[in-house]
A = this chain, B = another copy of it.
Amino acid sequence: MRTVWLAASLCSIAFTASAQTARPEPGPLTIARQGSFFVGGREVKSETLSTLPAYAASGTITVDQMYVRYQVPAGTPGVPVTLIHGCCLTGKTWETTPDGRMGWDEYFVRKGHPTYVIDQVWRGRSAADPSAINAVRSGKAAVDKLPTVFAAGHEGAWEIFRFGKAYPQTMPGMRYPLAAQAEFWKQMVPDSINSLPTPNPTVPALSELAQKIGGTVLMSHSQSGIYPFQTAALNRKGIAGIVSIEPAACPAPTDDLKPYANLPILVLFGDYVDQFPRWAPRLANCRAFVAAANAAGGKAEIVVLPEIGIMGNTHMLMQDDNSLDIADLLIAWIGKHVAKAE
């Protein structure tokens, strides 16, 4: 069976990474090029841009664009990777960890992968539209027209990220660098996703980005876990593979699975999943999706880290104390399963 074989191949890669690997101080990094740009976006005419005399209330703004920052390493580049953050966070997720270790954004570059980091639309450097707030403030709209925007508090996020079952308890052997938690909480931003249409405009923007790059692994996390699948359903062009890390949702096994035929897909979960009512059903659904996708000719795989001997990883595994070991696993998987565009 394909799934079993793939899991076994990853297991052999993973074996040496089951303990945290010591990392020497990294040397200088040579990059061929870097920069930032936007994809997507649409113009909106508004009469409520401002309630201040210094700025006109009436005018046109651009929203729904997605900010992208990238680095391409010197030398023959490997498969490009696009890092897509989750709920209540920005692209900062993948950068320097709260305790000051190298982020995946740099590590993938050092391993030869051109790396693209995005801010989901309406978050971070991707603009939101304040018109609804100002419409209510100036009496032109009712209070229920205010946007739905929430922040996850430290206490609630604690359980969502599986640091522990309730703040401030911790799971045994848990690998998140909690000594630096104050720096982590600074990464969290308000989330407007519930004010956005479905699919989220981030999805067509990811499709545009994938086509612009000309072949990339879409690597998502949590809230964004479903986006690469939605992007593939929209258009397979430019999508070289999907790595979905701790997705809040996989496609349903009863969905149309043709968009994923022959597409290398890896779904990755950390530890303690079955002990959390929020997470256990998500893992179960992803297992069912992977089985159904493979039955329909897919190349999907699901890895739950403790099942291959790696213990203690939280939902924020790209920041856990063995984050680069996890990255090594993914790099090995990409090297083995994802073809580079010619």
Binding site for B on A (CB under 8 A): 26, 28-38, 41, 43, 46, 49-52, 55-56, 58-62, 65, 67, 69, 74, 90-92, 95-96, 100, 102-103, 106, 119, 124-125, 127-131, 133-134, 136-137, 139, 143-144, 146-156, 182-183, 185-190, 194
Contacts and interface: CB of A to CB of B under 8 A. Distances in A.
A150 B134 contact: yes
Nearest to A149: B130
A138 B264 CA distance: 45
Nearest to A95: B36
Given A30-B29, A52-B194, A96-B37, A58 B119 contact: no
B50 A154 contact: no
A61 B154 contact: yes
A69 to B, nearest CB: 7
One complex includes copies of this chain to the number of: 2
A136 to B, nearest CB: 6
A3 to B, nearest CB: 31
A198 to B, nearest CB: 16
Contacts of A74: 28
Given A102-B35, A186-B62, A143 B150 contact: no
B189 A150 contact: no
Contact of A125 (B46, B59, B124, B134): B124
A56 B154 CA distance: 10
B154 A133 contact: no
Contact of A59 (B103, B129, B154): B154
Contacts of A190: 127-130
B144 A130 contact: no
B91 A125 contact: yes
Contact of A146 (B34, B38, B133, B155): B133
Contact of A92 (B36, B55, B131, B143): B36
A34 to B, nearest CB: 6
Given A65-B186, A144-B137, A150 B50 contact: yes
Contacts of A35: 95-96, 100, 102-103, 106
A155 B49 CA distance: 12
A61 B88 CA distance: 11
B127 A125 contact: no
A129 to B, nearest CB: 7
Given A36-B95, A51-B150, A106-B35, A188 B28 contact: no
A243 to B, nearest CB: 22
15 contacts: A29-B30, A30-B30, A34-B106, A36-B92, A38-B183, A43-B185, A49-B152, A59-B154, A59-B156, A61-B153, A62-B185, A119-B125, A124-B124, A131-B151, A133-B147
Given A124-B124, A143-B136, A151 B95 contact: no
Contact of A95 (B49, B69, B139, B186): B69
B150 A130 contact: yes
A96 B50 CA distance: 28
A309 to B, nearest CB: 30
